[in-house]
Amino acid sequence: MIPIDQALTDPKLLGAALGPPESWRTWFAALKAAMGECLSPSERRAFNKIAGSRTPPRDKVRELWAVVGRRGGKSRAAAAVAVYVACFLDHKLAHGEIGYVLCLSPSVAQANLVFSYTLAFIEQSPILRQKLDGPPTASEIRLQGGIVIAVHSNSYRTVRGRTLLACVFDESAYWRDETSATPDVECYRAVLPALATTQGMLIGISSPYRRSGLLFTKYRDHYGKSNRNILVVSGPTTLFNPTVDRRLIATARQEDPEAARAEWDAEFRSDLAALLDDATIDAAIEHARPLELPPAADHRYFAFADASAGRHDAFCLCIGHKLDNRFIADVVLGRKPPFDPTEVAREFAALAREYRCGEVVGDNFAGEWVAQAFRAAGVDYRKSRLVKSAIYLESLPHFARGAISIPNHAQLIRELRLLERRTHRSGRDTVDHPQSGSDDYANVLCGALYIATAARETDLYAGLDGPLHGEIIRPGGPVTVSHTPHFPRPWETIKETQSC
């Protein structure tokens, strides 16, 4: 077996596409250690910097996790490892069996990039190109001996049933999936049995993100700790790629220090956290109830909508009621694009009327067409006083004390698990969905909770402090009232005309 550093530096092998090896010395130390190869004194020093001073493994590890800053050569390293495992390690396959070296990326575009690097490593080598068994497809490279290098966007549903010789998780901290809040964990669970059968290696290479997920768990549990099966290395961009322009990093630090520490210094973000933990969300789920509860005569219902123009986001509605200081989400409904937004507004308005909701409260960012569409269907539409982020923060105490009941709605639960709470340098917190994510279902749930709670407070406190004269500003014009509650309704703005 040819050592990995020799394969990477030999111009007739992987070195033909790698280029000058000087900038790859830290990667060489990490990969050699993962393969159980002896390190030179200089490589041992480099290894100590990225491995938390743990002792190098004596044998090939089962899992290598590399937490590396942006532009640290991660995609090329992922491609190089995939080719090395496929071409230089011994594999025992049955006659007719196909062994896969599988590389999973966060998106199709990222997978295409890794695939291009992988193909270049093979085609640029006068020796490795002879191993090709036919022309490559859009995502697979077939080699002699029944070995295939496959590069796809991540999906835990499609990795089962294959003979896996190795699996590379590329940028796993940024994986997203429409059906799971934890696609990295799901993929990990799916590939482990296949890798255990072949003694194959799992390689995770990613920049860090927030302090949750598979990459963070591996870092937290194994970085700097000697383990014969798992090696975790971590280092900034400048350590893994000393050729990077440091002025670019300096500019990034000035613009957003916290983001720069994650992107360039490979530190997990301390300003990002999950808004709700899994246990809190699980406690709110009523598994035995149906997705929708029929209207009851003795309940007062509230409706909140998150409209969409029908091209990108879902158009969602939640209808719920309060019962003994507990909020019950009776209906959580959404329509995914493409759709006619006017038709969806008409459908949701009809549903709101079934629950005796004469008005629907909606997102602050909705255009006037939303209000017109609902009014045309016989239901008034109000914009919420609070923006989405504030509504999420208002929902926290209710989740914390178990005062919410939600159906076992997969998309809603996924979005709740992925909500991110960000603490800014000013100390102010905001909440939103992650990059390339969505929160339409979570938004309407927390919005309905907010207006139902605010309306209940209005009822409880009305009249305690004497009458308050004012105007309720409505789309059809101001309405003067002789008494308004102590607390304004969440969809109205109170303009005082007389103080008491």
Final residue before a domain boundary, out of 210, 239, 270: 270
Domain containing residue 288: CATH number: 3.30.420.240
Are residues 153 and 111 in contact, defined by beta-carbon separation less than 8 angstroms? yes
| pLDDT over threshold 80, residue 275 | yes
Contact of 103 with 170, CB cutoff 8 Å: yes
Query: Are residues 36 and 142 located together in one domain of the fold?
Result: yes
Same domain, 214 and 142: yes
Domain finish residue from 224, 253, 270 = 270
DSSP 102-139: EEEESSHHHHHHHHHHHHHHHHT-TTGGGGB-S---SS
pLDDT number for residue 368: 80
Confidence category of residue 19, pLDDT binned at 50, 70, 90: confident
Q: Give me the amino acid identity at 455.
A: A
Q: What is the mean pLDDT of residues 241-260?
A: 88
Q: Does residue 405 share a domain with residue 309?
A: yes
pLDDT value, residue 425: 65
CATH number at residue 195: 3.40.50.300
- Residue 434 has a pLDDT of 82
Buried b / exposed e across 11-35, counting CB within 10 Å, b at 16+?
Answer: eebbbbbbeeeeebbbbbbbbbbbb
Percentage of residues of the chain with pLDDT beyond 90: 66
Q: Which of 323, 326, 454, 332 is nearest to 394 (CA)?
A: 454
Residue 430 sits in the same domain as residue 331: yes
Q: 301 and 195 share a domain?
A: no
Residue 283, domain extent:
278-460
Segment 66-92 mean pLDDT: 94
Q: How far is it, in rounded angstroms, from Cα 59 to Cα 145?
A: 26
pLDDT recorded at residue 309: 80
Residues 447, 451, 454, 456: is their CA dihedral positive or negative? Answer: negative
- What pLDDT, on a 0 to 100 scale, did the predictor assign at position 271? 74
Mean pLDDT throughout 427-434?
A: 83
User: Residue 371 corresponds to which tokens in the numbers above?
Assistant: 């209000």
One domain for residues 265 and 390:
no
- Phi and psi at residue 473, in whole multiples of 5°? -80, 110
Element (H, E) at 201: strand 201-206
Residue with more model confidence, 4 or 210: 4
How many domains, the chain?
3
Q: Which of 250, 258, 342, 356 has the alpha carbon at shortest distance from 302?
A: 356
**Residue of 417, 407, 433 whose CA lies nearest to 312:** 433
Instruction: Return the closest-CA partner of residue 65 out of 171, 190, 163, 145.
Output: 171
What is d(CA 50, CA 69) in angstroms, rounded to the nearest whole number? 12
Whether residues 435 and 488 share a domain: the answer is: no
Residues 145 and 128 in one domain: yes
Question: Which of 19-23, 75-79, 288-292 is predicted with the least confidence, judged by mean pLDDT?
Answer: 19-23
Let me know whether 153 and 133 are in one domain.
yes
Say what the pLDDT of residue 366 is: 62
Question: Looking at residues 243-259, what average pLDDT do you find?
Answer: 88
- 341-366 pLDDT, tens digit each: 899 999 999 999 999 999 999 976 66
Same domain, residue pair 35 and 165: yes
CB 142 within 8 A of CB 134: yes
Q: Is the model's pLDDT at 461 over the cut of 60?
A: no
Structure tokens at 390: 């504030």
Question: Do 49 and 195 sit in the same domain of this protein?
Answer: yes
Model pLDDT for residues 167-226, shown as the tens digit of each residue: 999 999 888 765 666 788 889 999 999 999 899 999 999 999 888 889 999 999 999 999
**249, 270, 291 - which closes a domain:** 270
The verdict on 367 and 303 lying in the same domain is yes
Nearest to 362 by CA among 409, 304, 281: 304
The pLDDT score that the predictor gives to residue 178 is: 59
Cβ–Cβ under 8 Å, residues 478 and 492: no
Instruction: State the pLDDT at residue 237.
Output: 96
Q: What is the mean pLDDT of residues 388-395?
A: 93
The number of beta carbons lying within 10 Å of the beta carbon of residue 139 is 15
